[in-house]
């Protein structure tokens, strides 16, 4: 665990860029799925939306839920998205503050 934290800390800018990209991708997925839902087209599976959110994209997913009013009535999303975001922020805090 310590070596993973040291690696992330030493490559912090790369880690933060990946974090930002995952959130942008997740935000775009929520937007795309909302548009597909409106057009009654083939949808993005919920497991993909949750998977990208779990892989450090939760803040983008939450923002997508709010802005596009998408998946806001699904209990699975209402519970897991904030939980993922809290875990992500806690991991980032711990990685960059523990020496």
The whole-angstrom separation of Cα 13 and Cα 82 is 24
Q: Which helix (H) or strand (E) element contains residue 5?
A: helix 2-10
Q: Concatenate the DSSP letters of all residues of 16-72 into one string.
A: HHHHHHHHHHHHHHHHHHHHHHHTT-PPPPHHHHHHHIIIIIHHHHHHHHHHHT-ST
Domain limits for position 85: 2-97
What confidence score (pLDDT) does residue 14 get?
Answer: 87
Structure tokens that stand for 63 in this block: 């923002």
- Looking at the 3D structure of the chain, how many domains does it have? 1
Is 51 within 8 Å of 45 (Cβ atoms)? Answer: no
What confidence score (pLDDT) does residue 1 get?
Answer: 58
User: Mean pLDDT for each 10-residue chunk of the chain (99 residues)?
Assistant: 74 87 98 97 97 96 97 96 96 80
The verdict on pTM exceeding 0.85 is yes
């Amino acid at each position: 665990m310590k070596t993973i934290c040291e690696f992330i800390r030493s490559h912090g800018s790369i880690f933060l860029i990946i974090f930002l990209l995952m959130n942008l991708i997740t935000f775009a997925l929520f937007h795309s799925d909302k548009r597909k839902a409106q057009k009654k087209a083939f949808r993005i599976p919920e497991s993909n939306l949750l998977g990208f959110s779990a892989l450090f994209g939760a803040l983008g997913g939450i923002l997508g839920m709010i802005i596009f009013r998408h998946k806001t009535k699904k209990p699975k999303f209402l519970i897991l998205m904030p939980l993922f975001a809290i875990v992500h922020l806690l991991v980032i805090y711990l990685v960059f503050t523990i020496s």
